[in-house]
Structures are given as C-alpha cells and as structure tokens.
Structure 1
Amino acid sequence: MQLTFLGTSAGRPTKERNVTSIALSLPEPLNGFWLFDAGEGTQHRLMGSKLKLNKLEHIFITHLHGDHVYGLPGLLSSRSYFDGAGPLKLFGPSGIRAFVEGVFKLSGTHLAYELDIVEIAPGEIMDDGRFKVEAAELDHRMPCYGYRITEYPQPGQLNLSRLAELGVPPGPLYGKLKHGQDVTLESGGIIHAADVVGPQVPGRIITVLGDTCPCDNAIKLAMDSDLLVHEGTFAPGMEEKARAYGHSTVLQAAQIAALAKVKQLVLTHFSSRFDDHAITTLVEAAREAFPNTVAACDYMDVNIPKPIG
C-alpha cells in the first residue's frame, strides 16, 4: 500500500504545492486506488503521476471547503473519457450530493459511469471484506471528518517445500489451503491447512484526517495506526491563530501522534506563508514531540509495508 500526496498546501496553491488531495494505492492484486479530497487542479496532478482515473474506486471528502472539493466536478467529468471506468463511490459530509449534482445540472454534465454518492455519519461507513473504513467528526469551522482505514488480516504464506513433500499439485488446492480449508488428495490423504500455511499477516491501519484543531476524535481515529496523516497548517507559537481558523500547529499534530501511539506521522496542509526551508524547520520542531515525523510534498510517495506476521 502506498500514499501519494497530490497536493499539500492549505487554502490556496503555491508554485510548489497544490491544494489538498491524497491517493491511496491498494495492494496487489487489487491495483486500484482511493482518493482523499480533491482540491482544485487534482486531475492535473494525477496526470503527472502513474495513477489513472479508470483505476479510481472510491473518493472520500473530509469537508466542503473549496481547497478540498473544487477539483471534484472536473475530475468526475474527465473520468468518463477513460476506457474501463467502472462504478465509483463518493463519500462525504452532508451537502456533497447537492454540490456535485448542482454543478452537473448547471453545466449539463453527464457521466458515462455509475456514481454513488454517500453522505456519511460518524461510525463505520464501508466494509468490503478487505478493508473497513470508519469516520468521525473533527473540530473545524464546518462539519469535517477524519477517516480510519483498517486492512483485515491476510492469510499466511504457503510452505511450498512442504507442499511438494506432501505431493500437493500446484493449482486450486493451493488456493483452498491458503484460505484455511483442509483438502483431500486423489490418493485419499488429507492435508491440513494449519500444517502448510504460516501465521496470518496483520492488516495495516492508515488514518487520514481533515482540517482540525486538536481533539479527542483525532486521537481515537489514529490510535495504533501504522501511518497518520495530519494537517500542520501553522508553526508552534501560532496556537491562537490555529484555533481561530480551526487548524493545528505542527507541534500539536505531533502531540496527537504521540498520544495515539502511531508508527509514523506525515504532516501536510501547510500554510502558503511557509516555504520549503521553513517547513524543514517546522518538522524539526514537531520531531521533539514525535521523532518519526516527515513533511509531505507534492508527488511524494509513502509506502506502508506489511507488518511482520
């Protein structure tokens, strides 16, 4: 699994950073991706990546501020021009349906695929058997959500040498064993899955938060995550301004990461007042509270490796 940061600026784009959007590439054999927010210009950023719109399966919108949604109508429209673009689910707060359908009605836009718009409430919003997604409200100037993506444990590795010793032919029997089913050979011998399959591989947890002041739900969503994406709009010492605008400082984000016992923190959504040199300094301050902190930049990829079973 991999996160690709398509936009890392807050409020408005800069020459170096577009406004918010993050892509989550799913593990093989799925080969699709999900999108979190779609600020203006997101489809242009996608054209500079390896991601293709016909592989986009779900979009999760944190809130309806323009720097998180103004790129959505154009992206949805352009997806119609990609061969093989199947049904798409769009998750977001109340109002996301009126926003999208209003733009499409006024612009005469028609999609060539099925779009399912889901206006969410706190709690579990999706479970496809491979991933579960939970949402909770954050502390911002308008209704805003964070998302916790939990990957279910995966079957362990097959012991190929042991299977060969037992005379199990490659093919469908391998698949049954890998999924925990005992099998019977043509000779009548019974092969027990527990004898030839390693322990389950734990799933990964990724938390992507929208704009927020420090709050309890940020900690709950992020608890024990392999990776937390948290906004870092302001510098330490700017807590009053951050509170007034419904945001966090990089130090506050690091403190949330520490309280939630996450493995890695990626900061994004930086105020346009900060250039790259200043952001480097901000990250150094954040690392005092949470050492494993990095600053996102546009087109940065962050891999989330499989835990060791």
Structure 2
Amino acid sequence: MQVLFLGTGAGMPSKQRNTSALALKLHEERGAVWLFDCGEAVQHQILETTIKPRKIEKIFITHMHGDHIFGLPGLLGSRSFQGGDEPLDLYGPKELKEYVEMTLRLSRTHLTYPIRFHEVKEGVIFEDDTMTVEAGLLAHVIPTYGYRIEQKPLLPKLDMDKVKQLGVPKGPLLAKLKSGKTVELADGRKVESKEVTEPAEPGFTVAILGDTQYCAKSEELSKDADLVVHEATFDGETEKLAKEYGHSTILDAATVASRAGARKLIVNHVSARFLPDHEKHLLKNMRQVHGNSDIAHDFDEYGWNKKERLMEKLIER
C-alpha cells in the first residue's frame, strides 16, 4: 500500500499546491487504486505519476465543496477515453449523484463503463474479504465525512519445514491450512493450521478525514490508526477563524492524532498563506504535540512497511 498526495491545498489551486486529492495505491492488495476527493485538475496531476485512470476502482468524496469535486467530470471522461471499461464505485454525499449525472449529461460525455453510486452514511460502507471502509460524519459547514480504511489480517504464512515434517503433500491441502482449516491426510492423521503456520500479520489502518473542525468523530475514526491524514487549513494563532469556517488548525490535527494513539500523522489542505519558511515553524509546533508528523506536499508518496508496521516516505517533491 502506498499513499500518494495529488493535491494538498485549500480552497483553490496555487503555484505550490493543487486542490484536494489523495490516491491510495492498493496494487499489491487488490491491483487497484482508490481515490479520495477529486479537486480541480486532478487528471493533470495524475499525468505526472504512474497511476492509470482505468485502474481507479473506487472514488470516495468527503463533501461537496468545489475544491474537492471539480476534477471529477474530467477524470471520469478521461477514464473512458483511456480504455477503462470496468465499473467504478463512487461514494459520497447524496448530492454527488445529481452533480455527476448533470455534468455528464449537459456536456454530452459518454462513458464506456457504469458508475455505481453509493450514498454515504455513518457506519461501514464497504466490506469484502480483504478491506473494510467505515464513514463518520465530521464537523464542517456542510455535511462532511471522514473514512477509516482497515485491511483485514493477512493470511498466515506456511512454515514449509513443518509442512514437510508432517508429510503434507503439495496441492489443495496447503491452501486449506493457510486459510486456517484443519486437513486430513491420506493415512488418517489430522493436521491443524496452527501446527504449520506462523501467526497472521495484522493489516494496516488509515484514516482520511475531510474538512472539519476539531471533533470527537475525528478521534474515533483515527483510533490506533497506522496513518491519519487530517486537514490543517490554519495555524495555531488563527483558531477563532478556523472554527468560523469549520476547519482545523495544525495543532487540532496533532491533538486528534495524539489522543487517538495514531502512529503517523500527515496534514494536508494547507492554506496558500503558508510559505516554506512558515511551514518549518508549523512543523516544529505540530511535532511537539505528535512527534511522528509531516506536512504533505503535492506528489509526496508514503509506503507501508509491513515488517516494521510504519509509513515511510518514498518520494518527496
């Protein structure tokens, strides 16, 4: 799993930051990409990466403000032009379906694939054998959701030395043992999964939060997460302004991650008023509250180290 920031700015594009978009690259886990928010010109940002629009399996929208959705129509059209024919699942507030269908209809954009719309409400909104996605309502000026993405525990690894010692033949019996089942050998002996496997490794947990002021739901979604992505539109000196516009300060984000026991915090949705020199001061203050914290920039990429159970920065722009 890798997290690639395609847009980290707030409100409108700037020379340093595009508007909100984040790609969760799940190539190893499911051969796909999940996109969270889709601000203006996201498809232009994607051109600078290895992401193929046809590989985008799901798009999760946090809320209906323009800096989080204006890139959708263009991306949906390009996905079709570039050979995308697999269905696309689109999750978001109830108004999202109307917005997408209206823009596609009025622009006479024909898609070669179906869109499956999912109106987001609090609770589990997606689950399969490998992943669970939970949504929670945050505290912004319009309905806004945060998402908690949990990878289910990985299948146990077979200890091939023990397999050979017990005389388990190659074939379907090994698959059953790996999935936790007990098998019976030709001579009548029974072998339990725990006899020939190592303990299953836990999966990762990522919380991706939409625009919000400080709230308890942010902490709940971030509980013990390996990574929290939290907006930080304002600095600690503009707390009153942050509350007025339904946003968080960089210290709010750090407090959420710290109280939730999250291992890594990366803040995005950063105001264009923050120049590089100012960011150094913000980062210092944030790390006094939550030590393992970063400020995201467009095209920063982090990867999941399963062995160490931590997020490592892979690419920095």
TM-score higher than 0.5: yes
Q: Sequence identity of aligned pairs in percent?
A: 42
Choose 114-123 or 34-43, whichever is displaced more: 114-123
1:69 alignment counterpart: 69
1:173 alignment counterpart: 173
Q: How much does 1:175 deviate? A: 1.7
Q: How much does 1:85 deviate? A: 3.5
Q: Which amino acid aligns with 1:113?
A: Y
Partner secondary structure for residue 236 of structure 2 = coil
Partner secondary structure for residue 62 of structure 1 = coil
Q: How much does 1:94 deviate? A: 1.9
Q: Which amino acid aligns with 1:255?
A: T
Q: Which amino acid aligns with 1:23?
A: A
2:237 alignment counterpart: 237
Contact 2:60 2:91 (8 Å CA) reproduced: yes
Choose 283-292 or 19-28, whichever is displaced more: 19-28
Q: Distance in 2 between matches of 1:95 and 1:21?
A: 19
Q: Distance in 1 between matches of 2:83 and 2:184?
A: 43
1:53 alignment counterpart: 53
User: How many residues are paired up?
Assistant: 309
Where do residues 228-267 of structure 1 align in structure 2 (5 Å cutoff)? 228-267=228-267
Per-residue deviation, residues 184-222 of structure 1 (Å, max 9, x unmatched): 344544332110011121122110000010011111111
2:210 alignment counterpart: 210
Where do residues 141-152 of structure 1 align in structure 2 (5 Å cutoff)? 141-152=141-152
Q: Distance in 2 between matches of 1:84 and 1:162?
A: 45
Q: 1:307 to 1:146 in 2, by over 3 A?
A: farther
Q: Distance in 1 between matches of 2:81 and 2:162?
A: 49
Q: How much does 1:87 deviate? A: 0.7
Per-residue deviation, residues 16-65 of structure 1 (Å, max 9, x unmatched): 21111001112525121100000011111111111111111110000011
1:79 alignment counterpart: 79
Q: Distance in 2 between matches of 1:2 and 1:280?
A: 25
Gapped runs of 5+ residues in structure 2?
Answer: 310-317
1:17 alignment counterpart: 17
TM-score by length of 1: 0.95
Q: How much does 1:116 deviate? A: 0.5
Q: How much does 1:287 deviate? A: 0.7
Contact 2:84 2:113 (8 Å CA) reproduced: no
Contact 2:53 2:84 (8 Å CA) reproduced: no
2:291 alignment counterpart: 291
Choose 99-108 or 174-183, whichever is displaced more: 174-183
Q: CA RMSD in A?
A: 1.6
2:112 alignment counterpart: 112
Partner secondary structure for residue 271 of structure 1 = coil
Q: Distance in 2 between matches of 1:23 and 1:228?
A: 14
Per-residue deviation, residues 125-146 of structure 1 (Å, max 9, x unmatched): 1112211111111111111110
Q: Distance in 2 between matches of 1:13 and 1:188?
A: 68
Partner secondary structure for residue 76 of structure 1 = helix
Partner secondary structure for residue 6 of structure 1 = strand
1:272 alignment counterpart: 272
Gapped runs of 5+ residues in structure 1?
Answer: none
Choose 79-88 or 91-100, whichever is displaced more: 79-88
2:282 alignment counterpart: 282
TM-score by length of 2: 0.93
Where do residues 175-190 of structure 1 align in structure 2 (5 Å cutoff)? 175-190=175-190
1:226 alignment counterpart: 226
Q: Which amino acid aligns with 1:75?
A: L
Q: How much does 1:176 deviate? A: 1.6
Q: 1:84 to 1:70 in 2, by over 3 A?
A: closer
1:159 alignment counterpart: 159
Partner secondary structure for residue 142 of structure 1 = coil
1:193 alignment counterpart: 193
1:138 alignment counterpart: 138
1:34 alignment counterpart: 34
Q: Distance in 1 between matches of 2:185 and 2:41?
A: 57
Q: Which amino acid aligns with 2:156?
A: G
Q: Distance in 2 between matches of 1:41 and 1:84?
A: 19
Q: How much does 1:84 deviate? A: 5.0
Q: How much does 1:147 deviate? A: 0.5
Q: 1:235 to 1:29 in 2, by over 3 A?
A: closer
Choose 284-293 or 176-185, whichever is displaced more: 176-185
Choose 47-56 or 97-106, whichever is displaced more: 47-56
2:88 alignment counterpart: 88
Choose 24-33 or 236-245, whichever is displaced more: 24-33
Q: Distance in 1 between matches of 2:299 and 2:85?
A: 23
